[in-house]
Structure 1
Amino acid sequence: MKKYPNPKEQPSSTNAGKQETDSKSGSFFEVVFKIVRKIPRGRVTSYGAIAEASGIRLTARMVGWAMNGAGRVKPAVPAHRVVNSKGILSGKNFFATPTLMQELLEQEGIIIKEDKIANFKDVFWDPGAKTRKDSKKVL
């Protein structure tokens, strides 16, 4: 039976949630954080795209859970660049202020209207794309 991490445990950068996938990839938190750190400035991706790119059968919900703990790890994880599959800033309430996620994205040139990325298809970055480094394909 597969064990899932306890959501009440605090993740850390060295042993995030103690959920090991195998000795090479580390915990699912570490895999998610590694992918999120690759998102280029001025681009965003979705929880589902990260889950698919992880290669460890994550769900989008598990990626969201990892993003909730991203503020406590080093090196920093740009969690503000992760949105839902429609471009909505669904994680905004998990930042220090409800407007911080939007402010960080706008500082990178991303246009936000009513808690949604206006040009989502144009700024979407696909972490699973192998053919083009800077893919805009929406999953």
Structure 2
Amino acid sequence: MTPFTERTIGIIRDIPKGKVMTYGQIARLAGSPRAARQVVRVLHSMSEKYSLPWHRVVNSRGEISIQDEETRCQQILLLKLEGITFEGNKINLKSFGYQPEWWGAFGEY
């Protein structure tokens, strides 16, 4: 497993209930700012094996990117069960976005 993949798994695991992070945010934290698609790959291939809270990862606009309707509905339901609300099709990242304390001044919303 690459160091980027290990860091990505750790970051996703640490997203608390009721909060979300973006693919790009996770990529930056994991050390590769342009690797948002690699975060998608990690989520797709390792969520089940590592019990990752995959549903807490959204795109940079606060939208769900999953195209499969059943999985999309499952993600919406899981987020709502954690108290996350939607404004239309979007999650307000200022309200529900997670920025780890150790990230300091590098976070963006």
Greater helix fraction, Structure 1 or Structure 2: 2
In the aligned structure 1, how far is the partner of 2:34 from the partner of 2:54?
17
Residue identity matched to 1:42:
G
Please report the TM-score for the alignment, with normalisation by the length of structure 2: 0.81
Query: Is the aligned partner of 1:106 residue 2:80?
Result: yes
- Counterpart contact for 1:49–1:128, Cα < 8 Å: no
Aligned to 1:82: 57
In the aligned structure 1, how far is the partner of 2:33 from the partner of 2:64?
24
Structure 1 pair 39–46 and aligned structure 2 pair: CA distance change class (3 A): same
Identity %: 33
Larger C-alpha radius of gyration, 1 or 2?
A: 1
Residue identity matched to 2:24:
G
Equivalent positions of 1:9-88 (< 5 A) are 15=1, 20=2, 25=3, 28-56=4-32, 59-74=35-50, 76-88=51-63
Query: Is the aligned partner of 1:116 residue 2:90?
Result: yes
Please report the TM-score for the alignment, with normalisation by the length of structure 1: 0.65
Q: Which runs of 5+ in 2 are unaligned?
A: none
Bigger relative contact order (CA 8 A; separation at least 6): 2
Coordinate RMSD, CA, aligned: 2.7
Aligned residues: 109
Structure 1 pair 43–138 and aligned structure 2 pair: CA distance change class (3 A): same
Residue identity matched to 1:111:
T
Q: Which runs of 5+ in 1 are unaligned?
A: 1-14
- Counterpart contact for 2:29–2:103, Cα < 8 Å: no
Once the two structures are superposed, residues 63-104 of structure 1 have per-residue CA deviations (whole angstroms, 9 ceiling, x without a partner) of 111111233313x100110100110011363x8633000000
